[in-house]
Amino acid sequence: MNYFQEETPLGPVLLAADDTGLCGLWFEGSRYAPELPQQPVRETPPITAARRWLALYFSGQEPDFTPPLHLCGTTFQRAVWALLLTIPYGKTVTYSALAAQLAHDYGRSRPAPQAVGGAVGRNPVSLIVPCHRVVGASGSLTGYAGGLRRKEALLRLEKADMSRLFLPDTN
């Protein structure tokens, strides 16, 4: 595994890649972020592609490519993450809508939105696999491992319609 730390306007991110593709992208302090490794970091082609994607994204542009990915997880998690990749830039969907789409795509009973939320929360490649575009049915900006303020900032950067979205009251 190769690691690289990249600075962004929302704080440092840790990039992790193997020879196949990007395996991880975590904001510093994210719920599931690994500690920065003590081993030397090395920029590889998947990391270079991810850095280029981040530069475009944070300049306010919609990147027109996806870096090579190597997403490791359960079959269910990978199905959820594949759906996340279909959410258009600047748009949001609910956990419930993702659950309904999974049921439709796989011809199975509808998974609970909480199960979908668990898979969304375990997304190892934040931003590029856009878990920040998933919101609660009420419009609550809930469930972002990188922090709800970052989720709000990312949606504002994408010029998403924020009129029905809100940060939950944490009091």
The rounded average pLDDT for each run of 10 residues, N- to C-terminus, in the chain (171 residues) is 92 93 92 72 90 98 97 94 97 94 81 87 95 95 90 97 90 52
**Are 22 and 69 spatial neighbours (Cβ–Cβ below 8 Å)?**
yes
Per the residue annotation, which of 131, 134, 135, 165 is the catalytic one? 131
Q: For position 33, what pLDDT does the model report?
A: 80
Q: What is the pLDDT of residue 61?
A: 96
Co-location of 44 and 101 in the same domain: no
pLDDT of residue 130: 97
CA 118 to chain centroid: 13
Q: What is the pLDDT of residue 37?
A: 67
137 lies in some domain: yes
Same domain membership, residue 28 and residue 83: no
pLDDT computed for residue 39 by the predictor: 65
Asked, for residue 120, whether it belongs to a domain, the answer is yes
3 close to 35: Cβ distance less than 8 angstroms: no
Secondary structure, 3-state, 54-75:
HHHHHCCCCCCCCCCECCCCCH
pTM over 0.75: yes
pLDDT value for 120: 94
pLDDT for position 40: 59
- Examine the fold and report which residue of 12, 29, 58 is the final residue of a domain before the chain moves on: 58
| Structural domain that includes position 43 | 2-58
As for how many domains the chain has, the answer is 2
Q: Which two tokens stand for residue 22?
A: 């990007």
131 is catalytic: yes
Structural domain contains residue 63:
no
> Across the beta sheet with 13-17, what order do the strands follow?
2-6, 13-17, 22-27
